A = this chain, B = another copy of it.
Amino acid sequence: MSISIKDVAEKAGVSVATVSRVLSEGPVRADTKERVHAAIKALGYRPNLSARRLRTQHAQTIGLIVSDIRNPFFTAVGRGVEDAAYRAGMRVLLCNTDENVERERMYLRLMQEERVTGLILAPTLAMLDQLQKNPLQFPAVLIDRAGAGGLYDSVVLDNREAANTLVEHLFEEGYRRIGGVFGQTSATGLERRDGYCASMKARGLTPDPRLLPPTVDAGEKAMSEWLAGPDAPEAIIASNGLLLMGVVKAAQRLGRAIPSDLAVAGFDNEDWTEVVGPGLTVIEQPVHDIGRNAMSLLFDRLQNPGLAPRKVVLSGRCIVRGSTLASKPAALAENRSAPLTGAAAMNP
């Protein structure tokens, strides 16, 4: 049993109501306030949030459910959400589903039981479907993976356009047999695949997309087999940081040089993409904006529940590095201070 407001009231010789008023900065005479503060300090009192939430019916809590916290994209978004939440006096309940629908369902139930004020969610494909059929009981904003669904507010990247940018770039560099590996558990993966396929066809090329579990291992395994086979591509697009890492590992394992044997481009401008080999060409997402936008959509809805669902579509930025520059002088590489030197520097 821990120290309660009652103990403080006793010690200060006032009623619990007065202590409560002191805590909430209500109208209390200065000397009374002082006595109460003294008692609080002496006893080391801390309010019990469960009791407060029960009484006020206000959890002051934002739920954040992401698929994989190892993905720097989600750590950045999470940080943005957390900052905005704390500025508004709310706490954040962060949950990690690992792309597992069972865990996702469990966490959604938890959010319900915590009576969260609002939810920010990057759903799996399967969950996205369920969300349309069984709408959530509280305000929610979908991030990264919204699909077509118009039921919820959402903040997403223009995935089709970003995939098209990558294909276009590779095409201009002279690549034709361009393959792609895409995460199979998210709407985002599918959208990037669709954008890739459309862009390939528009250029008279044959798309060769592969849907995979979004993990390093799955990417490495699939690419190893692909590269060893007869239909090995000369360039590859990976739909997220984990698959991109898998592609690089597979290329190394099979002794394929990047970009001369295999050009590589992908999504997510993670730190390591800059230092590996000649640097990897990637689409950088406006992670900070995504988190910030998600929170403002959420707060808007909390203030005005009747609002029609809004979808915010942001654009990625293509950062060209050496991994896609086989045919041109390295000097053309943008956003890279010393592309060739950097690459050469890594060699014994």
Contact B109 A46 (CB under 8 A): yes
Answer whether residue A258 sits at the interface, using C-beta atoms and an 8 A cutoff.
Answer: yes
| Set B57, B216, B347: member contacting A271, Cβ < 8 A | B216
Nearest-Cβ distance from residue A284 to partner chain B, whole angstroms: 16
Q: Which of A44, A49, A258, A343 has the most CB of B within 10 A?
A: A49
Query: Which partner residue on chain B sits nearest A91 by CB separation?
Result: B110
| Max chain B C-beta neighbours (<10 A), residue from A48, A249, A322 | A48
Tell me whether A345 and B48 are in contact in the complex, defined as CB-CB below 8 angstroms, given that A276-B272, A338-B252 are known contacts: no
Q: Select A70's contact among B72, B115, B330, B341, beta carbons within 8 Å.
A: B72
Contact mask A130-146 → B, CB, 8 Å, 1/0? 00000001000000000
Number of A residues contacting the other chain (C-beta, 8 Å)?
68
Q: Is the CB of A338 within 8 A of B275?
A: no
Instruction: Name which residue of chain B comes closest to A341, CB basis.
Output: B255
Using A82-B96, A257-B348 as known contacts, say yes or no to A70 and B59 having CB atoms under 8 A apart. Answer: no
> Across the two chains, which residue of chain B brings its CB closest to A346?
B277
Contact B113 A256 (CB under 8 A): no
Interface set, chain A 310-348, CB cutoff 8 A to B: 322, 325-326, 330, 337-338, 340-348
A1 contacts which chain B residues (CB < 8 A)? 57
The residue among A110, A248, A252, A344 with the most chain B CB atoms within 10 A of its own CB is A252
A261 to chain B, nearest CB (A): 7
Known: A49-B115, A216-B271, A259-B348. 11 other contacts (CB 8 A): A47-B113, A50-B54, A69-B75, A252-B346, A255-B338, A258-B345, A260-B348, A272-B275, A277-B345, A278-B347, A343-B346
Which residues of A approach B to under 8 Å, CB–CB?
1-2, 44, 46-51, 53-54, 57, 59, 69-70, 72, 75, 78-79, 82, 91, 93-94, 96, 109-110, 112-115, 137, 216, 245, 248-249, 251-261, 271-272, 274-278, 322, 325-326, 330, 337-338, 340-348
The 4 closest A-B pairs by CB, nearest first: A277-B346, A272-B272, A252-B342, A255-B341
Could you list 29 A-B pairs, sorted by A, with CB under 8 Å?
Answer: A1-B57, A46-B109, A51-B54, A69-B69, A70-B72, A79-B96, A82-B96, A91-B110, A94-B94, A249-B274, A251-B345, A252-B275, A252-B341, A255-B338, A255-B341, A255-B345, A256-B345, A257-B344, A257-B346, A257-B347, A259-B348, A271-B272, A277-B345, A277-B346, A277-B347, A343-B347, A343-B348, A344-B347, A346-B346
